[in-house]
Amino acid sequence: METSKKVKQQKKKVLLMGKSGAGKSSMRSIIFSNHVAKDVRRLGATIDVDKKRVKFLGNLLLDIWDCGGQDAFTESYLTSQKSYVFGDVGVLIYVFDVESSDFTDSARGNSDRDLQTYSSIISALDEYSPNARIFTLVHKMDLVANEYRNEVIRNKTAAITARSGRFARTIGTYATSIWDETLYRAWGSIVNSLIPNLDVVEEGLKDLQRVTEAEEVVLFEQNTFLTVTRVSSEVGDENPTGDRYERLSNIIKTFKNSLSSYTESNSSHQFDSFTIKTGIFNLIINRLTYNTYVLVVFPPGEAELQCARLNILTAKDEFARIESVAEAADDDFRNLRGR
């Protein structure tokens, strides 16, 4: 496989905002810090802005600003810290608590303070980062009865879109919960939208899919196990389980965390390869680069398995070149934090 395009390093500032108690820090800890849902209850409220840099796919660096949602902090963000907080933003992720009593229709005499705050933040973002992407998460959906969830998310989405100004046409809204795969679906979509030169990565996966005759090839980020991208054959396209990638993210990350508790090893270096052999298919999850794992589903048979392993080994060099600029950013981050 040959890649002619040079991948440039990308740094993206990501604002994580929302009312205090909406679940912002909990979801960030699950996705990026290997916490499990039952443990995040011990997390305290975020004070002011908690900054964290996450290296994603080597050449994409996410500067995540987890902004405390208490009223005093929000007022500060919108006044004295306005240009500092809202300048140079690549993505705003705004989290709404689905059970908040302040997310309602003011025309009916109820409080809509959550939406008023969101609208003010959208205005500030439009002023200082007009090219930013916006994603809104209606969180804690596990607290809503199944039969009402579609109606609730439909109504919430309409209200949010109405307050999103000129961003309304491009905003993405997701229903999420820390207790199921919806969190991985939302964050996977968010991060996927930020990955530069994604076409280069996908071309490499298509080559691997072709030589292994795979039904599906899925690329995961090694720490979060969010789905980076995937390719599939016509047979793979017929798979009726639409949320299988998010389920896999959740299952594999849980598996990694379990290994950590038994081996007492660093959670980012858990396993190199995992294989399932059946009479219907073979499946390999293999370390592809320092930053990624690849999942390949392909026809059964020992010869097919060995050939797939060889092709994955060959592909490692190519994908390593795609990530070749990864390490150059460490000093930049130290300078950023020192500002």
Q: What's CA 37's distance to the chain center, in Å?
A: 16
38: which DSSP letter? G
Which has the minimum average pLDDT: 17-26, 141-150, 268-277, 319-328?
A: 319-328
Is residue 181 very low, low, confident or very high in pLDDT (cuts 50, 70, 90)?
A: confident
- Reading the block at residue 184, the tokens are 């991985």
Q: What is the pTM of this model?
A: 0.79
Q: How far apart are CA 146 and CA 31, in angstroms?
A: 24
CA-based nearest residue to 134, from 143, 148, 123? 123
- Reading the block at residue 309, the tokens are 């392993």
φ, ψ of residue 165 to 5 degrees: the values are: 55, -140
Q: How far apart are CA 90 and CA 110, in angstroms?
A: 33
**pLDDT, mean of residues 161-182:** 92
**Residue 46 confidence (pLDDT) above 80:** no
Edge-to-edge strands, sheet with 282-289? 227-232, 216-221, 292-298, 282-289, 273-277
**pLDDT, mean of residues 294-321:** 91
pLDDT digits (tens, 9 = 90+) for 110-129: 568 899 999 999 999 999 99
CB 162: neighbour CB atoms within 10 A? 11
Task: Dump the DSSP string for 270-300.
Answer: --SEEEEE-SS-EEEEEEEETTEEEEEEE--
Cα torsion 140, 146, 147, 150: sign: positive
**Residue 284 confidence (pLDDT) above 80:** yes
CB 53: neighbour CB atoms within 10 A? 16
- Beta strands 273-277 and 282-289 are antiparallel
**Residue 193 confidence (pLDDT) above 70:** yes
Q: How far apart are CA 157 and CA 108, in angstroms?
A: 18
CB 194 within 8 A of CB 10: yes
**Residue 327 confidence (pLDDT) above 60:** no
**Residue 4 confidence (pLDDT) above 50:** no
Average pLDDT, the chain: 83
> What are the beta bridge partners of residue 232?
216
Structure-model confidence comparison of residues 236 and 15, the more confident one: 15
**Residue 63 confidence (pLDDT) above 80:** yes
Q: What percent of the chain has pLDDT over 90?
A: 46
- Beta strands 216-221 and 172-175 are unpaired
**Residue 45 confidence (pLDDT) above 90:** no
pLDDT of residue 270: 65
pLDDT of residue 201: 85
**pLDDT, mean of residues 197-211:** 88
pLDDT of residue 17: 94
Which has the minimum average pLDDT: 40-49, 221-230, 282-291, 293-302?
A: 40-49
CB 332: neighbour CB atoms within 10 A? 13
**Residue 255 confidence (pLDDT) above 90:** no
CB 19 within 8 A of CB 69: yes
pLDDT digits (tens, 9 = 90+) for 76-102: 999 999 999 999 999 999 999 998 887
Is residue 105 very low, low, confident or very high in pLDDT (cuts 50, 70, 90)?
A: low
φ, ψ of residue 230 to 5 degrees: the values are: -155, 160
**Residue 53 confidence (pLDDT) above 60:** yes
**Residue 109 confidence (pLDDT) above 70:** no
Cα torsion 140, 146, 152, 157: sign: positive
Spatial neighbors of 313 by CB under 8 A, at least 6 apart, are none
Is residue 330 very low, low, confident or very high in pLDDT (cuts 50, 70, 90)?
A: very low
**pLDDT, mean of residues 301-321:** 90
**Residue 334 confidence (pLDDT) above 50:** no
Q: How far apart are CA 154 and CA 286, in angstroms?
A: 39
Task: Find the helix or strand (DSSP H, E) in which 63 lies.
Answer: strand 60-67
pLDDT of residue 86: 96
Q: How far apart are CA 185 and CA 138, in angstroms?
A: 13
Q: Using the structure block, give the residue that is written with the tokens 């009593």.
A: 101
**Residue 160 confidence (pLDDT) above 80:** yes
Q: How far apart are CA 91 and CA 88, in angstroms?
A: 9
